[in-house]
Amino acid sequence: MGGWVPALNVLVAALSDSSYAIIVGALLADRWLSALLQDRQASDVIEVSRVQLRRWVMTGLIVLISSQLVHPWFVASSMSGSTRFRETLALVPTILTTRQGELWYANSVVLAIMVGAQLLLRGRGASTFLWIEVAVLCVLAATKAASSHASEEGDFTLAEMCQFLHILGTSVWAGSIIVSGIVVVPRLAALEGASTLWTYGSHLSKTVTWALGILVLSGLYVAWCDMHGAASVLWISPWGRTLLAKVAFVAVAALLGSLTRFRCLGRPATSRRAITMTQLLRSEAAVMLAILCISGLLANSSPNA
């Protein structure tokens, strides 16, 4: 089915994936910043950054909930081939009785729990809140994996587990870079000393290095399964060429990340290197947004098309 509905579905998926990644990144950045509060010189900047991060989390949740509400309509439109709103809307109750509906209900419940935790538990029980966050984000990643191409061979397969890890790895890497490059690092770089920025950057660098490794290894296996072992899919199909474009963007992001790590964090902290680090992270954040958009396109297109 061509036309505006698939294009809009890809846009909604890209917004959903980006919001999920930003939520993951914002929560990680908040944890790293909370460990730096003992630095009195930077405490005010850190608190301002944490407030901004909480706003990003709530905004991301609003986008996720909005995409969640319209998702059954897109599934019904895809299955029926119809783009008429009322005609497709009438099929939604039927869709909700299928496996897609079960996943939708699971997502709805955990999103409600996440919103409740943000509104009621924030600041009361840090340990409890942390585990709620982790559980909710893992369930969301699991339902995404269960509705992806990787689930075609059944539930709890190696391909689906790798897709689950791929989603988490992408979200940790992309989300951490986006919120750090836009919200946190520019503020820390404006401080007189760069030691706080270097400490934060060390947490960021170690985390995204592990995330990138998980992303690449799981992504290779998932892509190989999607191609059914036929590498020719990469250059003869639109899906394959889109995947190659994603790989190219990932390579660019990895290069920018390596420059940040070795040209900045691997050397003594100076104000000049802090400015360079800010510029590199902002550039990497822009590349990450492109990667998330391409991921949304891949998830809503067929390798066999």
pLDDT at residue 169, as a whole number: 95
Of residues 39 and 33, which shows the higher confidence score?
A: 33
Query: For residue 120, is pLDDT > 90?
Result: no
Give the pLDDT confidence score for residue 199 in this predicted structure: 93
User: Domain residues of the chain, as ranges?
Assistant: 4-299
Considering only 38-47, 49-58, 251-260, 273-282, which range has the smallest mean pLDDT? Answer: 38-47
**SS3 readout for the chain:** CCCHHHHHHHHHHHHHHHHHHHHHHHHHHHHHHHCCCCCHHHHHHHHHHHHHHHHHHHHHHHHHHHHHHHHHHHHHHHHHCCCCHHHHHCCHHHHCCCHHHHHHHHHHHHHHHHHHHHHHCCCCCHHHHHHHHHHHHHHHHHHHHHCCHHHHHCCCCHHHHHHHHHHHHHHHHHHHHHHHHHHHHHHHHCCCCCHHHHHHHHHHHHHHHHHHHHHHHHHHHHHHHHCCCCCCHHHHCHHHHHHHHHHHHHHHHHHHHHHHHHHHHCCCCCHHHHHHHHHHHHHHHHHHHHHHHHHHHHHCCCCCC
Give residue-wise pLDDT tens across range 75-106.
888 888 777 888 888 889 998 998 888 999 99
Would you say residue 124 has pLDDT above 60?
A: no
149 pLDDT higher than 80: no
Q: How confident is the model at residue 28 (pLDDT cuts 50, 70, 90)?
A: very high
Residue 125 has a pLDDT of 52
Q: Decide which of 121 and 78 is more confident.
A: 78
Please indicate whether residue 175 or residue 231 has the higher confidence score (pLDDT): 175
Per-residue pLDDT, 2: 56
What pLDDT score does 121 carry? 64
